[in-house]
A = this chain, B = another copy of it.
Amino acid sequence: MRKNFGAKTYLYPLPVLIVAAYDENGTPNAMNAAWGGISDDNQVALCLSAGHKTTKNILAKGAFTVSMADAAHVVECDYLGVVSGNKEPNKLAKAGLHAVKSEFVDAPVIEELPMTLECKLIKVTQEGLILGEIVNVSADESILDNSGKIDPAKLRPITFDPVNNKYIQLGEVVGNAFRDGLKIK
Chain A interface (Cβ < 8 Å from any Cβ of B): 1-15, 34-45, 47, 66, 68, 71, 74-83, 94-96, 103, 109, 115-117, 125-129, 131, 133-141, 144, 148-152, 155, 157-161, 163-185
Contact = CB atoms under 8 A, between A and B. Distances in A.
Given A36-B37, A117-B10, A79 B181 contact: yes
A142 to B, nearest CB: 9
A155 B128 CA distance: 32
Given A140-B1, A141-B1, A164-B149, A175 B74 contact: yes
Contact of A176 (B41, B42, B109, B165): B165
Contacts of A117: 10-11
Contacts of A179: 78, 82, 165
Contacts of A184: 75-76, 79, 83, 94-96
B10 A137 contact: yes
A126 B126 contact: yes
Nearest to A148: B3
B78 A175 contact: yes
